[in-house]
Amino acid sequence: MSAVVEAPIVQARGVVKDFAAGDESLRVLHGIDLDVRAGELMLVVGPSGCGKTTLISILAGILSATEGEVRVGGRALGGLSARKLAAFRRETVGFIFQQYNLLPSLTAAENAAVPLVARGERLGAAEKKARLVLERLGMGPHAGKQPRQLSGGQMQRVAIARALVHDPAFIVCDEPTAALDAASGRAAMELLRDAARDPHRAVVVVTHDPRIYGFADRLAEMEDGRVTRVLDEPAAIRALSH
């Protein structure tokens, strides 16, 4: 049973994104309207090149929308300077990348502590908090290992710990199961679904993987830079995965 709360953490209204392509501009998002509610795990699905990654980049404050408005936690991102956007990401967003992007020379605990360090905590104190999160995710025995000593599934857990450690209101996750076997992928999604159960947090997952559609509270389907439909009925979502 979903713990979805109606208040949207993320609101996108009429979001348009153009990229320069030589002398011309290429429109990759065509007026996206989307809400992601607190306590919700939303999947964004669609074929390659449909604009999923661009959309989450805008929602996370990495890219700026050409037109339209994005609000996260009630804060409008339009017009924020690069410095303020960086501060917004530091405070509000947790990231899980497809390639994990763990710093190879840091231990799992140090990697998971990076967002806290970026917010101004001492490495030692941040590492302690990160270890607690890693333990919660079953990674306690591996906290002192470097990424090269970990399996893909374990690295994904470290990446999830890193996204959770600073208790962000919004987590964006890009293809979390793309590099994982079925069991590891399911385990990772269970962790993300648990993370989304926090009533003050929303999780958006971009994926190609129909095996994980069943974890979604809602599912937004995209095509050619548009959200073509949003499914919120578990049965309809499950049907899509088959």
Partner 1 sequence: MNYVQEHAVGAIAWRMLTGDRAKYLGLVFGVAFAVMLMTQQASIFVGLMLRTAAQVIDVTDADLWVMDPRIIYVDETEPLPESALWRVRSVPGVEWAAPFFKALSVARAPDGRLQQVFVLGVDDATLAGAPSRMIEGSVEDLRRPGAVVIDRVGALFIWPGEKGSETGSPRRSDVGRTLEMADRRATIVGTAETSAPFTTFPVVYTRYSEALRFAPPPRKPLSYILVRAQAGEDHAALAARIAAETGLKALPWRQFAWETIRYYLQRTGIPINFGITVILGFVVGAAVVGQTFSIFVLENLRQFGALKAMGVANGTILRMVLLQGAAIGILGFGIGIGMAAAFFEITSRTNVDLRGFFLVWQVAAGTAVAVALIIVGSALLAIRRALVLDPAVVFRT
List of residues contacting partner 1 (CB under 8 A):
53-54, 56-57, 60, 62-63, 82-83, 86-91, 93, 95, 97-99, 101, 103-106, 110, 114-115, 117-123, 126, 146, 174
Give me the least distance between CB of 61 and partner 1, in Å please: 9
Distances (CA, A) of 37 to 10, 91, 206, 230: 7, 18, 16, 13
Give me the least distance between CB of 24 and partner 1, in Å please: 19
34 vs 113, beta carbon nearer partner 1: 113
Using alpha carbons, select from 101, 139, 95, 92 the residue that is nearest to residue 119. Answer: 92
Using alpha carbons, select from 234, 214, 200, 209 the residue that is nearest to residue 52. Answer: 209
37 vs 142, beta carbon nearer partner 1: 142
76 vs 125, beta carbon nearer partner 1: 125
User: CB–CB of 134/161 below 8 Å?
Assistant: yes
Classified as helix, coil or strand, 20 is strand
CA dihedral 227→64→41→127, nearest 10 degrees, is 160
179 vs 240, beta carbon nearer partner 1: 179
Give me the least distance between CB of 242 and partner 1, in Å please: 27
Query: What span, in angstroms and rounded, lies between the C-alpha atoms of 45 and 165?
Result: 26
5 vs 123, beta carbon nearer partner 1: 123
117 vs 132, beta carbon nearer partner 1: 117
Give me the least distance between CB of 41 and partner 1, in Å please: 19
Using alpha carbons, select from 125, 184, 145, 137 the residue that is nearest to residue 161. Answer: 137
Give me the least distance between CB of 89 and partner 1, in Å please: 4
CB count within 10 Å of CB 136 equals: 14
Q: How far is CA 93 from the centre of its chain?
A: 8
Give me the least distance between CB of 20 and partner 1, in Å please: 12
CB count within 10 Å of CB 151 equals: 12
